[in-house]
Amino acid sequence: MTGQNSRSSLVNFFIYNTDYGQREGYEDEKIMLYVPQDENEDVKNKCIGLCQALVQFTLTFNPTKPCQCLNTLKAKQYFSNPEGNFWIVLTLSVPHSEKIVKDKKVLEYYPDDLQDPISEAILRQSYEMFVLFNGLFTFILNKYGRPVLQERLEFFYTRYLQTLNFGQLDLLDIYQGISYLPLDKTEFLRVQCFSNLIENTFSSVDHVCILQNDLLLWTSLSQKDMKILYKYLTSSLFPATTVDNEDSNSKGSNSPSSRNSSPQINATFPNPGKFLTAPLEMVKPGFTIPKRAPRIFVHVENEIKELNLLVYKAFSCIICLLIDIQMLNTEFCSKLHNFIGPQLGSLSSIITEQALKRNVQSIDQQYRFIYYNSMNLAIKSSIHAKRSSLVSVASEIMKLLVDIHQDFGESDEKGSETIMKTSADCWIVGRRAGCREFFVILNQKNASLVDIDEELRQVINTSFSNILFLN
């Protein structure tokens, strides 16, 4: 008799700096953060000491490539050295099930169910997300000192780690891509001109990003910054600021931001805009929006600059403005509201109409697909209707997709293809063409390789006719 498999979960997460705690009896000084926080101090020191020793030992074999992963029976430990002598370590439990063998309970572990590429990607993302809102570790350490760095690490990671479901991560967590909304030339030029107009009108605006719901239309940010900002917007800010119409109306206010906080606005109203984030003086207790505008660190002219993130919405169009931290106040927001609101509302109507024209019929349920372009981070998936929803295929198939992706990464060939058939008579096709990766899942039991190849051609011609795939 076998019980249901357990999911992977967080065992511990810690950050240490080898520049500290070098004297005997002061080892705890190197600990910048340790989760769980209530762990015994001796356990913390021993765990970090073992990790430090392991890293030093592996460096003797390859000085340029330190240890990245340690596998044990019950857990896997992942290491990252993002900057200086700072080390981040993530420990996850290995999924297991309980079996009855000769009237005794025995645990059987499944290390292959915890895939290293996903865990390593999550570890990198956790660091990038912290840097977006706080800056580099060394920047905080040099400017404010070790106690402040420890406080910021604790404040951020104790909350961030709770948002991660380590048992439901998949290929999209490796890609960390961006969903775009394709536009015609005229509409794209209209969006770009609107962005340029805002930057030229308001000199304190450094960057502009424009989205239609959770689909990106335009950004002036670098890809590295936009990738992690997009993750924050779509997984945290947007869901948190989605308010019910009745709740908004029951908390009516005379301010522009709260008066227009309902997602359903009369199209004849002259200014349908509302702030999703705003200065502290505009944030009202008990209201879902606006939230306090966070400070983020992004690249501006080859330097990391601290800016305020102001998010503004009109109908389904959302505009993100990165503002000089000295300029963000109620008066400035009032000018932005009067200038942007009516134009963004008009732009939203045009974009919505364009999106409806491009809304093709959903792909036949016989197959699912994932497409990713590493050049512009474009992601498209029929497996994930929404990023927060559960996938529509079996977990075993999602694991196979990760394995194929890993094989592509280890190959030097720019174009390759993998076709496999599962024990459940499900066909999986993975194709890499340059910077593009494309996966299709076909449920055709009696199909041959020739049939699958022909079906793949039809899928590409129907849904990806404007994308080059090498044959």
What DSSP assignment string belongs to 433-459? ETTEEEEEEE--TT--HHHHHHHHHHH
Look up tokens 């951020």; give the residue.
156
Give the integer Cα–Cα distance in Å for 74 and 123.
19
Residues 273 and 340 sit within 8 Å (Cβ to Cβ) = yes
Intra-chain end-to-end CA distance of the chain, in Å: 48
Percent of the chain predicted with pLDDT > 90:
63
**pLDDT for residue 249:** 41
* Torsion angle of C-alpha atoms 126, 130, 132, 134, degrees rounded to 10: -170
Q: Taking Cα atoms as reference points, which of 210, 223, 215, 242 lies closest to residue 311?
A: 210
More confident residue, 444 or 404: 404
**pLDDT for residue 390:** 53
Instruction: Give 301's strand partners.
Output: none
Amino acid making up residue 119: S
**pLDDT for residue 440:** 92
Q: Report the phi/psi class of residue 255: left, alpha or beta, with left for phi > 0 and alpha for psi in -120 to 50.
A: beta
Quick: pLDDT tens for 103-149. 888 889 999 999 999 999 999 999 999 999 999 999 999 999 999 99
Same fold for the domain at 185-358 and the one at 367-463?
A: yes
Q: Is 23 helix (H, G, I), strand (E, B) or coil?
A: coil
User: Considering the domain 10-169, what is its CATH architecture?
Assistant: 2-Layer Sandwich (3.30)
More confident residue, 184 or 362: 184
Give the integer Cα–Cα distance in Å for 199 and 397.
46
Q: Which two tokens stand for residue 334?
A: 């009032």
Give the integer Cα–Cα distance in Å for 380 and 373.
9
**pLDDT for residue 373:** 93
Domain ranges in the chain are 10-169, 185-358, 367-463
Q: Which two tokens stand for residue 260?
A: 């227009």
Lowest mean pLDDT among 118-127, 169-178, 415-424: 415-424
- Residue 25 makes CB contacts below 8 A (sequence gap 6+) with none
pLDDT at 293 over 50: yes
- Please state which of the four CATH numbers 3.40.50.720, 3.40.50.970, 3.30.450.30, 3.50.50.60 is assigned to the domain occupying 185-358: 3.30.450.30
DSSP line for 199-241: HHH-TTEEEEEEEETTEEEEE-S-HHHHHHHHHHIIIIIHHHT
Beta strands at 10-17 and 96-101: parallel, antiparallel or unpaired: unpaired
Q: Which two tokens stand for residue 272?
A: 């349908």
pLDDT at 299 over 60: yes
Amino acid making up residue 373: N
Beta strands at 277-278 and 291-292: parallel, antiparallel or unpaired: parallel
**Mean pLDDT on 214-243:** 91
Helix spans in 233-360 (H): 238-240, 245-250, 256-259, 330-358
Q: Which two tokens stand for residue 166?
A: 């380590």
**pLDDT for residue 246:** 35
What are the CA-CA distances from residue 124 to residues 10, 79, 175, 212, 403 (Å)? 16, 10, 12, 28, 19
Quick: pLDDT tens for 36-88. 999 999 999 999 999 999 999 998 898 888 889 999 999 999 999 999 999 99
Q: Write down the pTM of the prediction.
A: 0.88
Quick: pLDDT tens for 7-37. 899 999 999 999 998 888 888 899 999 999 9
Residues 140 and 152 sit within 8 Å (Cβ to Cβ) = yes
What's the CATH code, domain 367-463? 3.30.450
Quick: pLDDT tens for 349-381. 999 887 777 665 444 445 788 999 999 999 998
pLDDT at 433 over 80: yes
DSSP line for 160-178: HGGG--TTS--HHHHH--B
Q: Report the chain's C-alpha Rg in angstroms.
A: 25
Residues 466 and 399 sit within 8 Å (Cβ to Cβ) = no
pLDDT at 233 over 50: yes
